[in-house]
Amino acid sequence: MKNYDVLIVGCGPAGATLANLLRIRGYSVAIFDRDKEVFKVPRAMMLDSESCRIYQELGIEERLEKNDARHATRHLIVDSNREHLLTLNYDLVEGQYGYPPMGMMIHQPGLERLLRDDFKLDEGVDAFLGYEVSDVDGTRNLAKLKARNIDTNEISEFTGQYIIGADGGQSLCRQYIGAKRIDMNYSRKWIVIDITVHDDALWHSILPQGEYRCGPDSAIVYVKGFHNHLRFDCEVTEEIAKTFNEDDARKLISEYIDISSIEFQRIAPYNFYAGMPEAWRKGRVFVAGDAAHRTPPFSGQGLNMGVRDSANLAFKLDLIFRGLANDTFLNTYEEERWENCRQVIEQAANSGELISTTSKLDQFKRSCVFFLGRIFPKAMVEKASKTSHRFPYIKGFIGDHTLSGHLMIQPHVLTHEGKRVLLDEVTGNGFTLIQIQADSGEAAEDITWFTDVLGGKTFIIGKDFRDFDGKLFDFFTKNDIKNVLVRPDRYIFSAGESASELTSQLRKDLSAYSPTATKENRK
Ligand SMILES: Cc1cc2nc3c(=O)[nH]c(=O)nc-3n(C[C@H](O)[C@H](O)[C@H](O)COP(=O)(O)OP(=O)(O)OC[C@H]3O[C@@H](n4cnc5c(N)ncnc54)[C@H](O)[C@@H]3O)c2cc1C
């Protein structure tokens, strides 16, 4: 029986991302999935700018853009007769995180294949595909699971420091944790229809955008995907869901395109649901991704929330494995992510309600909002790209500056060689201290701890790289700061005048979780 640093149940996007984030940090991972192949029909169709940045760290983003990603540019909102109500043109605003404000449209199977390909890059990840996990136990010194080889029926045991259950909506790990489910007031029946358009001329004539068709309890979402794939999600009653068939789907799609060359990939009823379990951890077992949270898809955040869970867990596990934090540090995972996901899910549920409301008053309010959006298209897009999923952490492992818990911007910078690159390409994957000018030098002990013990890197703008178009300088000036201390998941730990004060605060806050800390001084 081989012992691993981390055992991951589920090789969907959340699990496979975490496996790679741990792999590049040098840890051993066993990842299990009952399915040998990735789920072939596209599910998520949008990768937000933060997830793009995480895949930039893994070196996947660039490869994804070759065949399976394009900039997300436009969403249309129309009424039940498909009369135009509002266009959200994301090209009107600039993304702050290195990618378009609404991220990229993607082909999920393509992303998942790249993630799995990268397991082979070194010895870090053992992928047990075709293995069903039947039992997890996080109560002892080591976490333990049992997995059954689907072909041979042989059951094997595996141990690791932690088990991360990224095992999707029906999660075994969530059942093991056994926490109460919190409903967030959205549960509606939808039919998800995926088709292939075989007529290439027709395919190329379809605009690369998403369309939201408002209708009382009968909204329809229509999105152009990749490789001749189109998605139609339509809201139906429970009764209609029971009998909805290919003929009904053809009738619906014929309102949009010529159906003579289409082939169905999937027609499936889904309960779009908003909710989370009260707790995401029991002993050494955690949940991440859909296992932890369920959102209706209207903000395109299901997959993205899981990717953020993985980035959050990866750097915290790293600090624990390096002996810089104890096990209680992992409680900040749930502290940070739970509330963040709650806000994202609530927003997605509100959008779902908005497009299918039956209330005349709400329909009137919606018309007013869209009217304003037609007059002020840029302001509308700015608001939409900020409020759909961009929420800061309000508690957890963060300092007390107003910027603490916000995602750090990612502008372009110029290297010594004069090459224009995104900020993270220069700063790397660890803790980062970015300074607008060098500190005066006093009390440098904490900065030495930051670089030598924590492995953080310090950068001075103008000396280590140049600010390409003044965005970094604007950021520092607008926030009246001289230093910003960024965590490996790109969230700002704190910011302020003095580098030594920031590193001192980080050291003090981390010491509350030090392996030798007493219970009393832990947070
Ligand atoms: C119709 C639809 C549209 C969507 N649109 C969007 C969108 O636009 N944007 C977005 O961000 N998200 C969207 N989503 C959601 C997104 O696809 C999911 O949130 C995402 O796939 C979740 O990833 P995950 O890794 O958490 O779970 P999954 O992808 O579900 O992966 C879980 C894996 O665990 C495996 N597994 C489960 N139990 C076991 C076990 N006991 N042993 C071994 N293996 C196990 C499963 O086989 C599976 O491969 C959509 C979903 C649907 C259905």
pLDDT digit string (tens) for 233-266?
999 999 999 999 999 999 999 999 999 999 999 9
For the CA of 33, the nearest atom of ligand 1: 44
Among the candidates 304, 332, 360, a domain finishes at 332
How many structural domains comprise the chain? 2
Report whether pLDDT(522) > 50: no
What is the average per-residue pLDDT within 98-111?
Answer: 94
User: Residue 35: CB within 6 Å of ligand 1?
Assistant: yes
pLDDT digit string (tens) for 183-237?
998 999 999 999 999 999 999 999 999 999 999 999 999 999 999 999 999 999 9
User: Does any domain span residue 83?
Assistant: no
pLDDT digit string (tens) for 456-496?
999 999 999 999 999 999 999 999 999 999 999 999 999 99
User: Residue 38: CB within 6 Å of ligand 1?
Assistant: no
Report whether pLDDT(48) > 60: yes
What pLDDT score does 250 carry?
97
User: Does any domain span residue 520?
Assistant: no
Same domain flag for 27 and 120 = yes
Among the candidates 332, 355, 370, a domain finishes at 332
Rounded mean pLDDT of the chain? 94
For the CA atoms of the chain, what is the radius of gyration?
Answer: 24
DSSP letters, 129-162, are ETEEEEEEE-SSSSEEEEEEETTT--EEEEEEEE
In angstroms, how far is CA 37 from the centroid of its own chain?
Answer: 22
- Structural domain that includes position 458: 412-511
CA 290 to centroid of ligand 1, rounded, Å: 6
What pLDDT score does 518 carry?
53
Atom 30 (ligand 1): residue with closest C-alpha? 168
What pLDDT score does 442 carry?
56
Burial of residue 54, with CB atoms counted within 10 A of its CB: 0-12 exposed, 13-18 middle, 19 or more buried = buried
In angstroms, how far is CA 188 from the centroid of its own chain?
Answer: 23
What is the average per-residue pLDDT within 87-114?
Answer: 93
Q: Which of 7, 21, 33, 209 to mutate to test the pocket of ligand 1 (most atoms within 8 A of CB)?
A: 33
User: Does any domain span residue 349?
Assistant: no
User: Does any domain span residue 472?
Assistant: yes
Q: Which of 104, 303, 310 to mutate to test the pocket of ligand 1 (most atoms within 8 A of CB)?
A: 303
What pLDDT score does 413 carry?
97
Same domain flag for 317 and 418 = no
For the CA of 305, the nearest atom of ligand 1: 11
User: Does any domain span residue 244?
Assistant: no
Same domain flag for 430 and 311 = no
CA-to-CA dists, residue 332 to 162, 327, 339, 393, 470, angstroms: 15, 10, 11, 11, 34
Q: For strand 74-78 and strand 210-213, is the pairing parallel, antiparallel, or unpaired?
A: parallel
Amino acid at 176: Y
Atom 39 (ligand 1): residue with closest C-alpha? 167
Same domain flag for 290 and 165 = yes
For the CA of 47, the nearest atom of ligand 1: 11
Report whether pLDDT(335) > 50: yes
In angstroms, how far is CA 446 from the centroid of its own chain?
Answer: 33
* The pair of three-digit structure tokens given for residue 254, joined into one six-digit string: 């014929």
User: Does any domain span residue 222?
Assistant: no
* The pair of three-digit structure tokens given for residue 121, joined into one six-digit string: 């890059």
What pLDDT score does 359 carry?
95
pLDDT digit string (tens) for 259-306?
999 999 999 999 999 999 999 999 999 999 999 999 999 888 999 999
Count of CB atoms situated within 10 Å of the CB of 49: 23
* CA 127/CA 131 separation, integer angstroms: 9
User: Residue 109: CB within 6 Å of ligand 1?
Assistant: no
What pLDDT score does 517 carry?
60
For the CA of 291, the nearest atom of ligand 1: 26
DSSP class of residue 376? S
DSSP class of residue 450? I
What pLDDT score does 441 carry?
60
Could you tell me if 337 and 281 are in contact, meaning their C-beta atoms sit under 8 angstroms apart? no
What pLDDT score does 32 carry?
98
Report whether pLDDT(521) > 70: no
* CA 212/CA 312 separation, integer angstroms: 32
Burial of residue 514, with CB atoms counted within 10 A of its CB: 0-12 exposed, 13-18 middle, 19 or more buried = middle
What pLDDT score does 523 carry?
41
pLDDT digit string (tens) for 409-453?
999 999 999 999 999 999 999 999 999 987 766 558 999 999 999
CATH number, domain of 500, equals 3.40.30.120
What is the average per-residue pLDDT within 159-182?
Answer: 96
Same domain flag for 35 and 170 = yes
User: Does any domain span residue 385?
Assistant: no
Count of CB atoms situated within 10 Å of the CB of 163: 30
* pTM assigned to the model: 0.95
Nearest to 104 by CA among 63, 60, 61: 61
Atom 38 (ligand 1): residue with closest C-alpha? 167
* The pair of three-digit structure tokens given for residue 523, joined into one six-digit string: 């947070």
Nearest to 220 by CA among 78, 320, 404, 90: 78
User: Does any domain span residue 403?
Assistant: no
**Three-state DSSP state, 420:** strand
What pLDDT score does 520 carry?
52
CATH number, domain of 324, equals 3.50.50.60
What pLDDT score does 440 carry?
67
Same domain flag for 133 and 13 = yes
Nearest to 307 by CA among 70, 65, 115: 115
User: Residue 72: CB within 6 Å of ligand 1?
Assistant: no
User: Residue 396: CB within 6 Å of ligand 1?
Assistant: no
Count of CB atoms situated within 10 Å of the CB of 225: 20
Among the candidates 332, 356, 374, a domain finishes at 332
CA 445 to centroid of ligand 1, rounded, Å: 46
What pLDDT score does 51 carry?
97
User: Residue 301: CB within 6 Å of ligand 1?
Assistant: yes
